[in-house]
Amino acid sequence: MARFTLPRDIYHGKGALEALKNFEGKRAIVCVGGGSMKRFGFLDRAVSYLKEAGMEVELFEGIEPDPSVETVMRGAAAMEKFQPDWIVAIGGGSPIDAAKAMWIKYEYPEVTFEDMCKVFGLPKLRRKAHFCAISSTSGTATEVTAFSIITDYEKGIKYPIADFEITPDVAIVDPELAETMPKKLVAHTGMDAMTHAIEAYVSTAHCDYTDPLALHAIRMIQSDLIPSYNGDMAKRDSMHNAQCLAGMAFSNALLGIVHSMAHKTGAAFADYGAHIIHGAANAMYLPKVIAFNAKNPEAAARYGVIADNMNLGGNTDAEKVALLIAHLRHMNDELNIPHCIKNYGADSYPTENGFVPEEVFKTRLHDIAVNAIADACTGSNPRIPTVEEMEKLLTACYYDTEVDF
């Protein structure tokens, strides 16, 4: 038996934020990140709408990019004190992911972070509060997914929390919020969405419910991402829908080792002054993983369907896979995303000498590979690598070398 789960209500289109006026409850805590939602007036509007609905409102502000376990615990403590019956998270993937984890801890104070990370092992939520997610970026789709990514900085590892219980009750997908994204964020979140859709389509857990969502999202992203990056706001609005469709697909079909590798490399070199930003990591690793997975004939055939869906040409699956890889690399070039870790600068832009030194990468390679194999996303990849193969794959992602194994 399989399961397909989405938020009960998805409000979309310009002005969708106003749906908050119709919420029923007594107290809402609004979780938010740095300052863009406040700066552009969206936070004030959200608070105003909730108050119009008759609720007392409290803010939990300052959730950092790649939120930490410590932030989750602080937020849960604030919730325990305020006792909200609505948790409203507004912003990019980080505040929404953090609020999901806070929600678990608020409902079950005795639960540890380690407990949260047991895949599909959470107890029933909604005993105390319901959850609304309002996305301002067009990539993570966490507003419709059963996933949350939290970073343990002591270990330098990002951990996915995966359980249908943390699928939001309400998602608000208002493109006005996405129109404020800076170019670099458009690029990274857009390629994150492309990776979601492609990995969902070739996942071993894909089904008739997820395949159409993944394929349509891929076509939309192919058509709309680069114009959105270059300032076309109609395409920016369209990308906000495309990434949400990709999220609906992967939340139910799951992901693959592109995400396993991105999770385990993202904070692995933080002591050298930067993170490998999640969407950029996905963009760099996706072509290499496609080449690796395509050694599996069934996966190759499904990549061929994707290439056909994108009208890339080719007669055989091998030709179609090569054209798909070339197209994705071209998209990275157009979006100013490097092709490999070696050329990934601390500012995320391509550079001759990236921020991760070669010897440091080699020293940490084995542990990163072991952790990537253990990641929650690995199990649904169409070809499960050995630790040795994962090391070779990560090495190809460091140097931008061919994957022929």
Instruction: Please give the C-alpha separations between residue 59 and each of 42, 129, 173, 246, 394, in angstroms, as whole numbers.
Output: 13, 16, 21, 30, 41
- Give the per-residue pLDDT at 285: 98
Specify burial of residue 211 (Cβ count, 10 A radius: 0-12, 13-18, 19+). middle
- Strand 27-32 and strand 86-91: pairing? parallel
Quick one: pLDDT at residue 162?
93
- Which residues are bridge partners to 172 per DSSP? 11, 134
CATH 1.20.1090.10 fits 191-399, yes or no: yes
pLDDT of residue 119: 87
**Which residues make Cβ contacts (< 8 Å) with residue 168, sequence separation at least 6?**
7, 100, 131, 132, 133, 143, 144
DSSP string, 67-90: -BHHHHHHHHHHHHHH--SEEEEE
Residue 267 to residue 281: CA distance in whole angstroms: 11
Residues 6+ positions from 266 with CB-CB distance below 8 Å? 66, 151, 158, 275, 276, 277, 278, 281
The H-or-E segment that residue 211 falls in is helix 211-229
Q: Are the CB atoms for 152 and 113 separated by under 8 Å?
A: yes
Full-model pTM: 0.95
**Burial code of 309-321, b = ≥16 C-beta within 10 A, e = fewer?**
ebebeeeebeebb
Pick the CATH number of 9-178 from 3.40.50.620, 2.40.40.20, 3.30.70.20, 3.40.50.1970: 3.40.50.1970
For CATH 3.40.50.1970, the residue range(s) in the chain are 9-178
- Give the pLDDT confidence score for residue 22 in this predicted structure: 97
Beta bridge partner(s), residue 91: 135
pLDDT tens, residue by residue, 233-278: 999 999 999 999 999 999 999 999 999 999 999 999 999 999 999 9
Rounded Cα distance between 90 and 94, Å, is 10
DSSP, collapsed to helix, strand or coil, labels residue 150 as: strand
Residue that the structure tokens 């948790």 belong to? 87
* CA angle in degrees (0–180, nearest 5) for 31-104-65: 40
| Cα separation, 372 vs 317, whole angstroms | 28
pLDDT of amino acid 263:
94
Beta bridge partners of 130: 86
Q: According to the model, what pLDDT value does residue 203 have?
A: 98
Model pLDDT for residues 310-336, shown as the tens digit of each residue? 999 999 999 999 999 999 999 999 999
Span(s) in the chain for CATH 1.20.1090.10: 191-399
Give the chain's residues under pLDDT 70: none
Q: Which of 191, 235, 217 is nearest to 336 (CA)?
A: 191
pLDDT at 268: 94
Please say whether the beta carbons of 228 and 236 come within 8 A: yes
Question: Contact, 197 vs 249, CB < 8 A?
Answer: yes
